[in-house]
Structure 1
Amino acid sequence: MTYLSIALKAVAALLVAGTALPLIETNLGFVRSLDFPRLQIAVALAACILALLWVSRDATAVILAIVMAAALVMQVRYILPFTPLAATQAKSAQACEPGARLNLLVLNVLQSNRDFGAALDLVTRRSPDIVLLLETDTGWRDAMAPLRALYPHRVEQPQDNTYGLLFYSRLPLRGPEIRFLLQDDVPSLRTQVMLPDGGTATLYGLHPRPPHPGQSSAPRDAELVIVAREVAKAKGPTIVAGDLNDVAWSRTTQLFQSISGLLDPRQGRGLFATFHAQWPMMRWPLDHVFFSEHFLLGGMERLPDIGSDHFPISVSLCAAPSAPARQDKPEADAEDHRDAQEAIEAAR
């Protein structure tokens, strides 16, 4: 047995373990973070299968190749709904009256990134109706002061712990509030937005803590479930935006959708991977805009890098009376409701 064969078999075992571990029901950050690189693991599995069978075809190699093939199928099943090969969940607006259109821009600026001008230029150039900036400290708040002349309605919660947020809106707000749902240093936003057509929508801006080795996923999971329950109870036009520190295909995000009934514009269109902007081989979709069936999708775009570790994400929505009839929103079953309750209890 050559050293290369031994090395490939070791890699194969690690890739299979990386596929199997997220199946365990646990809040351990190390395990939950393996939800993120499913595309990368899938590519590595395919390459390892070919390489292993090229250098060795003994019984161990063949068995590992078969197991890796099964792991590859599993990974692809997670990713496939977020490619153009799948059906879209949020339907596209064929046309949209100007008064019904709503443009949003979401950007995790990276608190240590001090290229304020690039972010400011992006917002002024794109001129969205609503801007949500995350990881913003007082330096970012002061640098974004020129936006106050363009956006008369705003909520500013700068913090120096990478969980500050700045929210700017051309549209009037009703009852905006900063909330600390689970942790007293992790804020979130909830506000009513007066839409151009005279209607209103509830908007949530979120940025829960991510899971990583040594950090439980329980607070993130519970925060998403709490918001999902609020959305389901209110039932009206709703938008949830932000850096959710979770990927679109994870069980937590799927549970969030099932409970809330919100639509994911990525499904059937593409990954729109927003993190990590500087590491092309290690990217996954962390920044999201979910919305209720009252909206159709006008467009979704990942914007160029502005010095952060996240790409900005731009979404255009169209409030249309016909939208609910055209779209099937996710529905929760008894198991989903049970999992949601368990997620909240785990965070307590």
Structure 2
Amino acid sequence: MKAKLWGEWFFGGGLILLSLSHWFPFGINFLELLGAFAHATCILSLIIAVVSAFMRLWPLAGSSLLAFAVSGLLILPHLSTPEMSGNSDFSVGQFNVYHNNPIPQDAIATIAQNAPDVFTIQELNSEWQTTIDSRFLKTHPYRIEEYWDNCCYGIGVYSKYPITHSRLLDLEKLPAIECTINVNGKDVNLLSLHTFPPAFPNQTEARNLQLKQAEQIISAMNNPLLVIGDLNLVSWDRTLTQFLQRQELNSARDGFMATYPMDLGFPLIPIDHMLYKGPIAPTRCETFDIPGSDHKGLVASFAFKE
């Protein structure tokens, strides 16, 4: 009986520690990776709490319920659906098409069907250039492209509206694009970037350095401002939340809106982001499937504030 009781406390305590690690990963790469799945910890803890309560395993039920609360409090603010209504002045898209997409023609055709006024393609591959031109040369004649054929960090910005200023940036040896787009006489500044995935400690460090460099760029840019891209950070990651706070950025997101990975047919985590600040407000935000990609597409509409 004592061994059973100790087992309950041990397992329940482990769940609590796991939930706390999502709040405080202490810079440990493995814990940061686990933190991306805080919502899974939350659901698992609730299931264990319900089952153990049904079985009258009260220590396990109580500790699991506490783990549910700890992880739930972390992700709850990022599940809300803000009020978004009114007419839109322009729309923006973030599309990670996947560098080795087996059906790029279908992917680009789908983007064309959903094409916003301004969008970025990430993991851009030069083999797609003919297809991209055939779809967007007339509708989105203004563009900045940086192909990256060796791997997965090519990037391009495409616009219906004139791009009056552009600059290709180097963030830890990966390309990013800063530009100004004139939307019916009003300037909108945009930064598009794709950060390193935090698969290993050195890549996590490089990703964080990219964000620090991005902060310096953002600080020098005028409002209204959009920062869009595959940031390889979930919405509740402290690195991202502090980045948003320091730069006074908001996230255009309608609830959880997971975008990656699509290998199972449905996404698990939200790592593609549409951030903004200044005299603009989102009026719509949604995702859609991109054939052959491991990411969902992210589209948002914005209105200028008077």
TM-score range, shorter chain: 0.7 to 0.9
Aligned-pair CA distance for 1:128? 1.4
Distance in 1 of aligned mates of 2:40 and 2:25: 22
Q: CA deviation at 1:229?
A: 4.2
Distance in 1 (CA, whole Å) between partners of 2:270 and 2:302 is 19
Percent of residue pairs bearing the same amino acid type:
20
- AA paired with 1:122? T
1:217 maps to amino acid: T
Name the residue aligned to 1:140.
128
Contact 1:27–1:218 (CA<8 Å) still a contact in 2?
A: no
Q: Note the C-alpha offset of 1:12.
A: 4.7
Contact 1:171 1:195 in 2 (8 A): yes
Aligned pair count reads 303
Alignment CA distance shift 1:24-1:95 (3 Å): closer
In structure 2, stretches of 5+ residues that fail to align are none
Give yes or no for the alignment of 1:35 onto 2:35: yes
Aligned residue type for 1:74? V
Pairing 1:81-96 to 2, within 5 Å after superposition: 81-84=77-80, 88=82, 92-96=84-88
User: 1:55 and 1:262, CA in 2 relative to 1: closer, same or farther beyond 3 A?
Assistant: same
Partner of 2:239: 252
Q: What is the CA–CA distance in structure 2 between the aligned matches of 1:29 and 1:290, rounded to whole Å? A: 25
Aligned-CA RMSD value:
2.7
* Paired position in structure 2 for 1:180: 170
- Secondary structure of the residue aligned to 2:295 is coil
Which letter maps to 2:263? Q
**1:67 Cα offset (Å):** 2.8
Residues 45 and 72 of structure 1 are in contact (CA less than 8 Å); yes or no, is this contact kept in structure 2?
yes
Q: In the TM superposition, what whole-angstrom CA distance separates every residue of 1:81-137 from its partner, at most 9, and x where no partner exists?
A: 2234x7x3xx534234xxxx1111211111121211222212322231112111122
Consecutive unaligned residues of structure 1, counting only runs of 5 or more, are 322-348
**Shift, 1:270, TM fit:** 0.7
Find 1:298's aligned residue among 265, 283, 286: 283
Task: Say whether residues 1:315 and 2:300 are aligned partners.
Answer: yes
Aligned counterparts of 2:75 and 2:26: Cα–Cα separation in 1: 21
Q: Is the aligned partner of 1:152 residue 2:141? A: yes
* Counterpart position of 1:49: 49
More strand by percentage: 2
**Within 1, Cα distance between the matches of 2:94 and 2:14?**
35
SS at match of 1:180: strand
For 2:241 and 2:290, the matched residues in 1 are separated by 28
Aligned to 1:122: 110
Q: Structure 1 residue 10: deviation in Å?
A: 7.3
Partner of 1:239: 226
Conserved? CA contact 2:8–2:60, under 8 Å: no
The whole-number CA distance in structure 1 between the counterparts of 2:17 and 2:267 is 19
Q: Distance in 2 between matches of 1:214 and 1:95?
A: 44
- Secondary structure in 2 matching 1:224: helix
Amino acid at match of 2:188: A
Deviates more, 1:221-230 or 1:152-161: 221-230
Distance change >3 Å, CA 114–CA 166, structure 1 → 2: farther
Query: Distance in 1 between the 2:70 and 2:212 partners?
Result: 25
**Distance between the aligned counterparts of 1:207 and 1:136, measured in 2?**
11
Structure 1 residue corresponding to 2:208, chosen from 221, 225, 231: 221
Would you say the 8 A contact 1:40–1:282 is kept in 2?
Answer: no
